[in-house]
Structure 1
Amino acid sequence: MVASSPFPSCFGEYAMQVAEMSSGNRTTHNLIACIYCTKLCSCYHVITISWCKNQTGQGFSVAVDNPSAAASPSLPKVGLKPWVSWKKQGKKAMEVDGKRVQIFWDMTAAKYSSGGPEPQESFYLAIVFHGQILMLLGDKKKEAYDATQAKPLLKEPILLSRREHIFGKKYYNTKAQFCESGRSHDIVIECHSGGAREPRLCVRVDRRIVVHVKRLMWKFRGNQTILVDGLEVELFWDVHNWLFNPDLGNAVFMFQTYFPSSHLKSCNYGEQESFPVQVFKGRDFEKLSGFSLLLHAWRIE
């Protein structure tokens, strides 16, 4: 991420505590990290699932944190090396607040889209605590219950944030679901920064232009409010590296969705209780809960 980026912290310090998978070699940057909130050990915890892919293989890691704790302890992380070293199906145990948590997975038949690191179908990843499934990803749910012998999921975890690396020359594509009850949207980022034409930036959601920035040499950082599914989404961009340091780094985009309390029920967020929410000063309401999509856009020459 660009060091000088003006983007606000999405969900506190614990939100981006994901092991940095990148280095100077851009081929190692294929990483997707999803941050969820769920109930664990009688309190709310943040679970980070990171999917990665590099030249030697692909794998994932699981990290659990307790943002409500007075002193945030260093909790263990389940990290899997590339598939050449690990089985595509297995289980692993970890200790959280002195309690045993088990993680089960089956990626033997997993299918991926466009060579990305995150499986799309024919897989499962389950987190079990005290005989109860806390999180279940994937479409092989029956196989997951057979393997874990655990009680069904009581409440779906809340997806707080998604961090993704995308690649392209002029067009950068991804998908995002901004509300639990909403549909998945196609996002296309288009940037013209070379040739005789004046640099400009265009962002589309489902082919509809939501942001069009001209005079990009002067407006390489900024933000704008857009509407998706009837909800306000704040879009931040930082394309400084694309314009002035093309060989050094990537551009950064963040879509931050704000959910006032009146929207929480319609989005299936359930009771607010003690879910970690970010307080944004200067707005009409004090506490907002929402979803954040953070994109690292890398230019392929």
Structure 2
Amino acid sequence: MVSASSLLLLPSSVRDLASCVVADVAACTTPSSTLTSPASPSTLSVTVFYRATALLPGQSSPAHLRLTWTRSPLGPTLSFSPSASSPAVVLRRRRGTQSVSVDGAAQPQLVVFWDLTAARYDASLEPHSGYYFVAVAGADVVLAVGDLAAEFVEERFEGRIPKAAALTVPFARRERVVAPDPAAMHTARRVRFAEGGPDHEVSVGCSGGGVGGAAEEELWVSVDGKRAVQARRPRLNFRGNQTVFVDGAPVDVMWDLHGWWFREPPYGSAVVMLRARSALESRLWLEEEEVATAVPGFSLVLQAFKSRADGLSSAPAH
């Protein structure tokens, strides 16, 4: 069942969601797929956040690891970040092994293994099967992603490193897309708001009015085909939030459309964030220093850029 609460204004800390890094929230997603429609956006990048399953050398808490899939002329490109402050390592080959340092350490603390040669994709840049990415620190597997990861660990290390009991669970996801129609955007993802919970289809749409402004402008978010959030006149209500209930648990939906309506390409974008939370959490947004102690909940951030008149991406490259 899905229900909604009344509209509120977002606190100022959410107004820069376009550049945010979601911190310390835990759950999982299934492979995403963009549903086909006349205004289906083109995905620029998909960043998936994971919590390491074991401590890295010299660290007192589990590291946050990131895999980013980006579009290139040669197809999807994978990069890996071992922490929020470490630069991304671009894995240019389809298969390989590489040592990685964390936070500028003199000696590498991680060895990563990956194989995308048989990876299979749907509409997303992230493969849904036929691949693995594994990060090892000493005698521990700290990250195991892909349907072939457990098999690789067993064959490669022959029992010297325990076989991964399960794939590493992502705790957040951020996607950047370009809408082919600057007056409208619609994208859909399959997500799981809680580990072990059912999959749900989340659709996000934004219409900018038809020719001459005849069509009504609105933002909407649907869960499993049911309209959960509908913000009319978004040029006035360009920042806001609502709380919906999915599987009996609260999910906060927050949006910032100021850039979409009032900034020119390549800087204008619409940002929509869904964040699952415990019923014990009273605030929709936690300040950065308090996030680490928050009750965990899954986060999905979608950032949509307008396409230029020439059809090229208007999104700034990074």
Q: Which TM-score tier does this pair reach, normalised by the shorter chain? A: 0.7 to 0.9
User: What is the Cα-based RMSD across aligned positions, in Å?
Assistant: 3.1
Query: 2-side partners of 1:250 and 1:187: how far apart?
Result: 19
Question: Residue 91 of structure 1 corresponds to which residue in structure 2?
Answer: 97
Which of 57, 71, 77 pairs up with 1:53?
71
**In the alignment, does 2:301 pair up with 1:294?**
yes
Question: Residue 238 of structure 1 corresponds to which residue in structure 2?
Answer: 256
The one-character-per-residue Cα deviations of 1:231-270 (angstroms, maximum 9, x if unpaired) are 11111111223323364422101111113689xxxxxxxx
Q: Shift of residue 104 of structure 1? A: 0.8
Amino acid at match of 2:122: S
Which of 172, 178, 196 pairs up with 2:193?
178
Q: Shift of residue 228 of structure 1? A: 1.6
**In the alignment, does 2:164 pair up with 1:164?**
no
SS of residue in 2 equivalent to 1:190 = strand
Residue pairs, 1:212-223, within 5 angstroms: 212-223=230-241
Distance 1:278 1:158, change over 3 A: farther
- Native 8 Å contact 2:109 2:137 kept in 1: yes
Which of 151, 161, 165 pairs up with 2:162?
151
Amino acid at match of 1:32: V
Question: Residue 21 of structure 1 corresponds to which residue in structure 2?
Answer: none
Gaps of 5+ in 1: 13-26, 67-73, 263-276, 281-285
Q: Shift of residue 203 of structure 1? A: 1.0
Question: Residue 255 of structure 1 corresponds to which residue in structure 2?
Answer: 274
The one-character-per-residue Cα deviations of 1:67-120 (angstroms, maximum 9, x if unpaired) are xxxxxxx64643223xxxx2x111111244656321111111101111x32111
Question: Residue 33 of structure 1 corresponds to which residue in structure 2?
Answer: 47
Query: 2-side partners of 1:208 and 1:119: how far apart?
Result: 28
TM-score, L = length of structure 1: 0.73
- Native 8 Å contact 1:279 1:287 kept in 2: yes
Amino acid at match of 2:15: S
Query: 1-side partners of 2:294 and 2:43: how far apart?
Result: 34
The one-character-per-residue Cα deviations of 1:185-241 (angstroms, maximum 9, x if unpaired) are 211112221220221111111101100111222101111111122211111111223
Distance 1:148 1:253, change over 3 A: farther
Amino acid at match of 2:170: L
Query: 1-side partners of 2:132 and 2:272: how far apart?
Result: 30
- Native 8 Å contact 2:145 2:168 kept in 1: no
Query: 1-side partners of 2:21 and 2:88: how far apart?
Result: 22
- Native 8 Å contact 1:47 1:63 kept in 2: yes
Distance 1:261 1:152, change over 3 A: farther
The one-character-per-residue Cα deviations of 1:107-144 (angstroms, maximum 9, x if unpaired) are 11101111x32111111111112232222111113134
Decide which structure has greater strand share. Answer: 1
- Native 8 Å contact 1:176 1:185 kept in 2: yes
Q: Shift of residue 9 of structure 1? A: 6.7
Which of 220, 223, 227 pairs up with 1:202?
220
SS of residue in 2 equivalent to 1:279 = helix
Aligned residue pairs, count: 253
Question: Residue 134 of structure 2 corresponds to which residue in structure 1?
Answer: 126
Which of 100, 107, 116 pairs up with 2:116?
107
Amino acid at match of 2:136: V
Gaps of 5+ in 2: 1-12, 25-40, 282-287, 312-318
Query: 1-side partners of 2:14 and 2:164: how far apart?
Result: 41
- Native 8 Å contact 2:42 2:177 kept in 1: no
Residue pairs, 1:10-25, within 5 angstroms: 10-11=22-23
SS of residue in 2 equivalent to 1:44 = coil
Query: 1-side partners of 2:80 and 2:265: how far apart?
Result: 32
Query: 2-side partners of 1:261 and 1:104: how far apart?
Result: 40
SS of residue in 1 equivalent to 2:82 = strand
Distance 1:242 1:298, change over 3 A: same
Query: 1-side partners of 2:147 and 2:166: how far apart?
Result: 17
Structure with the greater relative contact order (CA < 8 A, sep ≥ 6): 1 or 2?
2
Query: 2-side partners of 1:151 and 1:56: how far apart?
Result: 35
TM-score, L = length of structure 2: 0.69
Query: 2-side partners of 1:206 and 1:28: how far apart?
Result: 22
Q: Shift of residue 298 of structure 1? A: 2.9
Which shifted more, 117-126 or 170-179?
Answer: 170-179
Distance 1:261 1:199, change over 3 A: closer
Query: 2-side partners of 1:176 and 1:202: how far apart?
Result: 17
SS of residue in 2 equivalent to 1:290 = coil
Which shifted more, 181-190 or 91-100?
Answer: 91-100
